[in-house]
């Protein structure tokens, strides 16, 4: 009888208890373009206001019932909609609409000259009020690797907020982020935005490795974290990751755009942390610094294994150990790792990828992780989406990787 009672109690604990959270109302209406334009570029900002502030976030366009039982991402996560698309921009050179148009790697970016602490340059975005916390990301997509800085990456900058500016230059500004010694091409920062309506990035120095005489930022994005910040993604891996998630027009729709097509309440924040020639061991050497620089990225999407299995290596033991160490560090930092299966290759130098993918399946199961996309199955069935080298996805293949990630994660958004 005692065992029966324990079993019944266990079953009761597994039954979700639901509570009404409240409503979230869309202040704007997002739409998909019908002319082949980038989905990200055409996205209009959608803001939300939680009508009832309980311990669970409001989700979607109507009242949602969320389980009080703690099951890691068993259902929807709270959205953090993008706010900055098409918002007014101001700089010493005038408006810079290309910074908030959702187009990456384009030449309508922000070439700001050669800033110094004595002669800095800045750009301000009028976001509007009503948000308690926001996430700012910036990108210099002209650089390929995450840790590449040769093409106009700022080494030192400030992020500031204001409640009373009218043109980005006047008003009272509060410095909320100060960065020195930056050595990556894209970063994220979460900001207290209570009572604020403006955000400004002020650059005071360039990377010493730059080969151009100007800081070049091609996109700044601001997201509403007022209901939480779970819909934030750091894509970490090798050259396949670096290319697939750079969000250039030729690789659109991106993961965020595909998610938006699943549920227009969502538009995930993304940071592309791919680096060419990287292995799981390389990732392990970076992970502590990457976690420190990106503390607000909730999901860490890992795409390693192609270079680990190069040369027809057949023993995944070291790969498994390094991936487990990555998983442990990401989880210890309070984040959620997700592992993608290694893409199929036809170059004759990666014949044992299935053994490495079995290790990924074992790691996913052993650590209770949500399974990532099966890139091996896709590219085996669609080898025409690989380049002539038989290894790297072509532009259509990069689009497929973004779609496959969105499909694999779809239950977070439905």
The torsion region of residue 18 among left (phi > 0), alpha (psi -120 to 50) and beta comes to beta
pLDDT of residue 148: 81
309's CB contacts (< 8 A; 6+ apart) are 316, 319, 342, 350, 352, 353, 355, 356
Domains in the chain and their CATH numbers? Answer: 89-224 (2.60.120.260), 232-412 (3.40.50.1110)
pLDDT of residue 142: 79
Q: What is the DSSP string of 68-117?
A: SS--TTSS------B--TT--EE-TTS--GGGGSS-BS-SSSEE-----S
Dist. CA 81–CA 265, nearest whole Å:
7
Per residue of the chain (414 residues), what is the pLDDT tens digit? Answer: 444 444 343 343 333 322 222 222 222 333 322 223 333 333 333 322 222 222 222 222 222 222 222 233 446 899 999 999 999 999 998 999 999 999 998 766 676 778 899 999 999 999 999 999 999 999 987 788 998 887 678 999 999 999 999 999 999 999 999 999 999 999 999 999 999 999 999 999 988 877 677 778 899 999 999 998 899 999 999 999 999 999 999 999 999 999 999 999 999 999 999 999 999 999 999 999 999 999 999 999 999 999 999 999 999 999 999 999 999 999 999 999 999 999 999 999 999 999 999 999 999 999 999 999 999 999 999 999 999 999 999 999 999 999 999 999 999 998
Dist. CA 221–CA 223, nearest whole Å:
7
Dist. CA 27–CA 25, nearest whole Å:
6
> What does pTM read for this prediction?
0.82
Dist. CA 205–CA 189, nearest whole Å:
18
Tokens found for residue 290 = 């990457």
C-beta separation of 258 from 297 below 8 A: no
C-beta separation of 140 from 153 below 8 A: yes
308's CB contacts (< 8 A; 6+ apart) are 279, 280, 281, 316, 318, 319, 322, 356
C-beta separation of 168 from 198 below 8 A: yes
108's CB contacts (< 8 A; 6+ apart) are 97, 98, 101
C-beta separation of 364 from 339 below 8 A: yes
Tokens found for residue 211 = 């080969």
Instruction: Pick the closest to residue 47 from 13, 76, 87 (CA basis).
Output: 87
CA–CA distances in Å: residue 9 to residues 15, 66, 74? 10, 21, 21
Helix axes 353-366, 317-332, angle to 10 degrees: 30
CA–CA distances in Å: residue 250 to residues 253, 281, 400? 9, 30, 12
Dist. CA 138–CA 109, nearest whole Å:
12
Helices (H), 196-316: 239-244, 255-262, 280-293
pLDDT of residue 351: 97
Query: If you search the block for the tokens 């976030």, which residue do you land on?
Result: 57
Dist. CA 45–CA 249, nearest whole Å:
19
């Amino acid at each position: 009888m005692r065992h029966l009672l324990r079993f019944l109690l266990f079953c009761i604990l597994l039954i979700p208890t639901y509570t009404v959270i409240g409503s979230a109302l869309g202040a704007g209406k997002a739409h998909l373009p019908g002319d082949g334009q980038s989905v990200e570029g055409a996205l209009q900002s959608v803001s939300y206001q939680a009508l009832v502030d309980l311990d669970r976030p409001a989700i979607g366009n109507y009242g949602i019932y969320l389980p009080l039982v703690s099951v890691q991402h068993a259902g929807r996560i709270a959205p953090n909609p993008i706010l900055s698309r098409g918002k007014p921009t101001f700089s010493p050179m005038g408006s810079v609409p290309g910074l908030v148009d959702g187009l990456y790697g384009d030449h309508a970016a922000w070439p700001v000259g050669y800033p110094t602490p004595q002669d800095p340059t800045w750009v301000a975005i009028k976001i509007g009020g009503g948000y308690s916390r926001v996430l700012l990301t910036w990108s210099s997509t002209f650089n390929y690797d995450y840790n590449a800085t040769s093409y106009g990456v700022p080494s030192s900058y400030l992020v500031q907020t204001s409640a009373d500016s009218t043109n980005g230059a006047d008003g009272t500004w509060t410095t909320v982020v100060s960065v020195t010694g930056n050595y990556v091409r894209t970063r994220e920062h979460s900001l207290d935005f209570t009572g604020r309506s403006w955000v400004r990035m002020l650059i005071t120095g360039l990377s010493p490795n730059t080969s151009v005489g100007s800081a070049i930022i091609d996109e700044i994005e601001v997201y509403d974290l007022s209901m939480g910040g779970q819909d934030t993604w750091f894509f970490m891996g090798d050259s396949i990751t670096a290319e697939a998630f750079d969000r250039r027009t030729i690789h659109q729709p991106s993961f965020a755009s595909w998610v938006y097509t699943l549920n227009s309440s969502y538009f995930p924040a993304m940071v592309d942390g791919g680096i060419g020639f990287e292995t799981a061991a390389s990732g392990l050497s970076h992970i502590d610094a990457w976690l420190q620089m990106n503390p607000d990225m909730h999901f860490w999407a890992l795409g390693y294994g192609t270079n680990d299995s190069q040369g027809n290596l057949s023993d995944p033991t070291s790969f498994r150990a390094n991936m487990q160490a990555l998983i442990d560090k990401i989880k210890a930092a309070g984040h959620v790792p997700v592992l993608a299966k290694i893409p199929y290759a036809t170059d004759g130098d990666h014949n044992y990828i299935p053994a490495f993918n079995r290790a990924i399946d074992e790691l996913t199961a052993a650590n209770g992780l949500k399974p990532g996309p099966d890139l091996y199955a896709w590219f085996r069935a669609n080898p025409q989406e690989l380049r002539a080298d038989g290894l790297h996805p072509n532009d259509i293949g990069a689009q497929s990787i973004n779609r496959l990630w969105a499909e694999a994660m779809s239950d977070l958004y439905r």
